[in-house]
Structure 1
Amino acid sequence: MHTPSPTERSRAIADRVERFVREIVIPYEGDKRCASHGPSEDLVEELRGKARVAGVMTPHILPDGTHLSQLETAAVLKRSGLSPLGPVAVNTMAPDEGNMYLLGKIGTPTQNKRFLEPLVAGGARSAFMMTEPASEGGAGSDPSMLQTKAVRDGDEWVINGRKTFITGAKGASVGIVMARTGEGERAQATMFLVDLPHPAVRIERVLDTIDSSMPGGHAQVLIDNLRVHQNQVLGAVDEGFRYAQVRLSPARLSHCMRWLGGATRSHEIATRYATTRKAFGKLLIDHEGVGFMLADNLIDLQQSALMVDWCAGVLDTGSLATAESSMTKVAVADALFRVADRCMQVMGGSGVTGDSIVEQIFREVRAFRIYDGPTEVHKWSLAKKIKRDALELQSAGKA
């Protein structure tokens, strides 16, 4: 497996981002404005103001509007993730980072001026509305179960449905709504751009979840007779599922990048603890039970970094990297959870308190094993590919 290296340009940007996160952002981690549903709007605004002054706002998109390659983006997003507040501060967080990527790929110039430019400037947040309540038989890991419907009415579309786990819906200015626009054996869907807040898009509740790093939390949203003009269709009608694949592979890889930074930080904290705390007459790290856990962390972190860079390199060839991103998401999410868990174990009682960011990173990484597709769904998808490839070889007489 050949793993390419990031460029000097991306290393320089990443170094600036890391310096900003360590010196400016980390001291905010104990701020009372960091609550169970994410940092408050005024804290987001304050951090982003400092990011602009430091020249690290939206660092993966250059001043001329061009996007760093995925491999370059990986170098930058890893550093932004050294604090749960880092991606919020420098505008590399989910779902905005993925939504900016999608808009940059398929948005029209008019749409991008209206919806993308405020996101890139860090003056607006967005929400991606695809997931639906399981209790209503809606789409989750299987997008083909989409229940939300959009019906054409002249130059407008009328959208009705309910969405859930919509990250950042509360406080968002830009919405991307996925709705069914076709019936029959092959489900069809379309993406629509929506100005938020909107009276026809109502937040019913913000869910209490294990994670707490994303502004606005994760909401359940009712879409009730929402009317949008034809010019708010993102891309082509009935191509929503295809566009979702354009967005989802890079977006799930971006999660890997950011939380690799968080797990790296946890390891730093646990290492500091193990090399200063004594028990039974010697430093904790000198007890094999502790030292070996930290050694295992190094292995998992290095393997995760290599997989992220490998998958980024595949995406940079123009491939959708569907299988590669599934493999990377499974391997990295599980590895980083092991790292976060070991860090808590090394730190003992202090590791499970809010006195250290390790506890929050553990919660965030645990949620990541479900978000952007549970581990088991990705393995199921990979197993289908293995079967399909094997049967093709057999039919060709090559196996």
Structure 2
Amino acid sequence: MSRNDLDQGQAIAARVERFVRDVVIPYEKDPRATSHGPTEDLVVELRTVARAAGLMTPHIGADGSHLSQRATALVLQASGLSPLGPVALNVMAPDEGNMYLLGQVASEAQKRRFLAPLVSGQARSAFFMTEPADDDGAGADPSMLKTTAVPDGDGWRINGRKAFITGAVGASVGIVMARTDAGDGKVAATMFLVDLPDPAVRVERVMETIDSSMPGGHSIIALEDLRVPGDQILGAPHQGFKYAQVRLSPARLSHCMRWLGACRRAHEIAAAYAVKRHAFGKPLIDHEGVGFMLADNLIALKQAELMIDWCAGVLDTGALGTTESSMTKVAVSEALFGVADRCVQIMGGTGVSGDTVVEQIFREVRAFRIYDGPSEVHRWSLAKRIKRETLEAAADGFGLA
């Protein structure tokens, strides 16, 4: 990664920040920002103004080139200053992760058909991997995948159910992960590109969840004899688990980037409240209980920023970064939840009301500790690595003294 790349990222981030603060934030009170995410009408309006400002999908160049992860971090943090910022700029989940995956794995024909409309902001997408708990399907453990894809003539036929599918309502592009038979007796999965809507992809219900920033909300989906042509396999057959890691490592990091921006905004609002609000004869910030919480916020925000930059640097080397993204996702999600929680506490009754965006940021960041792998799963994975490396060191005559 070059110095020019970081300079470019800083310049774009500065434009994004001005746009989000001046143009996007006023939309936060728009009634079209619903409990299931912004409506399609609001998404189109936000993207129209972003496109006019030359900020549509700003981390991807007109030639398809992608900023480095470190430079992207600057841009996505600025977009996250409002929950509507990533939507307006076309850098929100799941599209940002899906665009990255398609850019890495899709064929040139698939990129023209499925990726180009996403990058232009003319289409939205959904990633169909997680399955309902009442089916005992795949959640944090993808090997429990129950959705099946079987050969059917020159294509495939898919059946199963999916859960917590973000943005399925209103999506034009779907990436469906299904169990396939590689002939070796092992659990294998394949990813398929799907045109949406399709009558074989049925929304059972849109779920009620504590977060509300992503268009289309989160749905339970039934896949009923979904027919997919053979040329719509994403990448190679039976490589779905590998491709999931290609997508998830940077996607976890992108979430960290966006929510860091949101929590910086919450901190700004809480600090302004603590300076102007008085109690017991002085501003709240002059009471140690409040001032120290704001100081802890400042420390946590800087730690999160440094962790993100470190992980982004690892990914920029071309490494898969699974361990680094797991560590970063746990550390940042928990640090940012602490920031959001303290902001609510500082603001008292105002903090739990809808009078400011702090209440929404608190809800969104709480959900962040679960999606893309809950903290416990990442810690379990890291513990397994520690055990393996410790035993290997002992075999070489080190450790276990």
| Letter aligned with residue 383 of structure 1 | A
Cα offset for 1:182?
A: 2.0
Cα offset for 1:185?
A: 5.3
| Letter aligned with residue 86 of structure 2 | P
Matches within 5 A, 1:268-279: 268-279=268-279
Task: Determine the C-alpha separation between the residues in 2 that align with 1:298 and 1:114.
Answer: 44
Task: Determine the C-alpha separation between the residues in 1 that align with 2:260 and 2:99.
Answer: 21
Q: Is the aligned partner of 1:179 residue 2:178?
A: yes
1:351 — aligned with what?
351
- What do the CA deviations read for 1:189-248 (whole angstroms, capped 9, x no partner)? 000000000010001100000000000000000000000111000000000000000000
2:13 — aligned with what?
14
Task: Determine the C-alpha separation between the residues in 1 that align with 2:111 and 2:104.
Answer: 10
2:107 — aligned with what?
108
Contact 1:87 1:93 in 2 (8 A): yes
Q: Which moved more, 1:369-378 or 1:180-189?
A: 180-189
SS at match of 1:179: strand
- What do the CA deviations read for 1:250-305 (whole angstroms, capped 9, x no partner)? 00100000000000000000000001111111110000000000000000000000
Task: Determine the C-alpha separation between the residues in 1 that align with 2:371 and 2:69.
Answer: 20
1:237 — aligned with what?
237
2:82 — aligned with what?
83
2:48 — aligned with what?
49
| Letter aligned with residue 288 of structure 1 | E
Matches within 5 A, 1:1-399: 7-182=6-181, 186-399=186-399
- What do the CA deviations read for 1:77-97 (whole angstroms, capped 9, x no partner)? 000000000000000000000
Task: Determine the C-alpha separation between the residues in 2 that align with 1:108 and 1:185.
Answer: 28
Task: Determine the C-alpha separation between the residues in 2 that align with 1:274 and 1:295.
Answer: 12
Contact 1:6 1:75 in 2 (8 A): no
SS at match of 2:139: coil
Contact 2:106 2:235 in 1 (8 A): yes
Cα offset for 1:153?
A: 1.6
Contact 1:168 1:218 in 2 (8 A): yes
| Letter aligned with residue 188 of structure 1 | A
Task: Determine the C-alpha separation between the residues in 2 that align with 1:105 and 1:95.
Answer: 16
Contact 1:80 1:258 in 2 (8 A): yes
Give runs of ≥4 in structure 1 deviating > 3 Å.
none
Task: Determine the C-alpha separation between the residues in 2 that align with 1:334 and 1:5.
Answer: 33
Distance 1:6 1:303, change over 3 A: farther
SS at match of 1:225: strand
Structure 2 gap ranges (5+): none
SS at match of 1:163: strand
TM-score, length-scaled by structure 2: 0.97
Cα offset for 1:317?
A: 0.7
SS at match of 2:276: coil
Contact 1:25 1:47 in 2 (8 A): yes
| Letter aligned with residue 356 of structure 1 | T
Task: Determine the C-alpha separation between the residues in 1 that align with 2:81 and 2:9.
Answer: 17
| Letter aligned with residue 222 of structure 1 | A
Task: Determine the C-alpha separation between the residues in 2 that align with 1:272 and 1:41.
Answer: 33
| Letter aligned with residue 123 of structure 1 | Q
Contact 2:5 2:67 in 1 (8 A): no
Cα offset for 1:134?
A: 1.0
SS at match of 1:180: strand
SS at match of 1:275: helix
| Letter aligned with residue 306 of structure 1 | L
Contact 2:5 2:68 in 1 (8 A): no
Task: Determine the C-alpha separation between the residues in 2 that align with 1:333 and 1:354.
Answer: 22
Contact 1:300 1:336 in 2 (8 A): yes
| Letter aligned with residue 378 of structure 1 | H
Q: What is the Cα-based RMSD across aligned positions, in Å?
A: 1.1
SS at match of 1:243: helix
| Letter aligned with residue 74 of structure 1 | A
Cα offset for 1:5?
A: 11
Q: Which moved more, 1:384-393 or 1:159-168?
A: 384-393
Contact 1:5 1:71 in 2 (8 A): no
SS at match of 1:250: helix
| Letter aligned with residue 84 of structure 1 | P
SS at match of 1:175: strand
Task: Determine the C-alpha separation between the residues in 2 that align with 1:249 and 1:108.
Answer: 21
Aligned length: 396
Cα offset for 1:395?
A: 1.8
Task: Determine the C-alpha separation between the residues in 2 that align with 1:145 and 1:186.
Answer: 12
- What do the CA deviations read for 1:7-38 (whole angstroms, capped 9, x no partner)? 11100010111111000000000000011100
Task: Determine the C-alpha separation between the residues in 1 that align with 2:63 and 2:271.
Answer: 41
| Letter aligned with residue 227 of structure 2 | R
| Letter aligned with residue 308 of structure 2 | V
Contact 2:166 2:218 in 1 (8 A): yes
- What do the CA deviations read for 1:325-352 (whole angstroms, capped 9, x no partner)? 0000000000000000000000010010
SS at match of 2:96: helix
TM-score, length-scaled by structure 1: 0.98
| Letter aligned with residue 71 of structure 2 | E
